[in-house]
Amino acid sequence: MLGALQGAEHTTLAAAHMELAAGLSVDEQMVAVAAVRLLGADVLAPYVLTGRTPPAEERAAIEVALAALPPAQPPPAAPPEGAEQAWVRAWIDWSLVTVLARIDPSYMAPATPEPPPPPRCDAGAARRQPPTTVPGDAAREGWVPWSVRMGQLSSLALPGQDGPVHQAARSGVLGLARGATRAVLRRDFPTAARITRWLAWLHSERVELPLDPAPLTEHIALLGAGGRVALDTAISRRMLGLEPV
């Protein structure tokens, strides 16, 4: 995926992955399908960020994954009222379907997932949000769990994406900055990379930030380890206009 983000031509992600699993057992093929679904819209990030059109076999592979493991309907309630894992999954599914439909207008989802209720930001920003879009009690939760939860939704932080979660990010800039800083100080670089990706998206949207996400991204890329950190920092660097890693 990193090669594709750097503009490598003739690179497929979902199609290549599922092709490798084609000769395996049914259970192993389902694991391959689940891996594509777990990535969510990030499986299309190289095309969103480079402006290239995904090849037909790539779009077909994602459609197969969506058909094999369709998004749950109706969407679950937002935490703390609903189960957090199911709610996060619903938003990731929504993002994948909307990005695919935007990249490939011919794609017709069997049932376009209804957006789940959005997250509520820290107490100060939450008061500026319309009451109808606020699930739960932010004052009761605070910015720490909210920022971590936003980090779990980092695959939504892509150019061209917009919705209630993105509005929550715009309203909760300070909570995101605090969350990213806290994660770095705790040396929790996977969480730091996810939250910083929202800061990079906000920067690309010309939202005023309390810190510069560029050096923060570089710091995380230098000290963090693992494929997920590498992916999130590579996407952040693209949105910040930095050289790809």
Asked if 139 and 91 sit in the same domain, the reply is: no
Q: What pLDDT sits at residue 189?
A: 97
Neighbours of 187 (CB within 10 A): 9
Asked if 47 and 158 sit in the same domain, the reply is: no
Of 100, 116, 132, the last residue of a domain is 116
- Find tokens 């209720």 and name the residue: 117
The answer to whether 139 touches 129, Cβ cutoff 8 Å, is no
20: domain range?
1-116
Higher pLDDT, 23 or 230: 230
Q: What pLDDT sits at residue 228?
A: 92
Q: What is the pLDDT of residues 106-131, one digit of tens each?
A: 776 554 455 666 666 543 333 323 22
The Cα 24–Cα 3 span in angstroms is 26
Structure tokens at 15: 């199609």
Structure tokens at 100: 């695919």
Number of structural domains (the chain) is 2
Asked if 145 and 238 sit in the same domain, the reply is: yes
For the entire predicted model, the pTM comes to 0.81
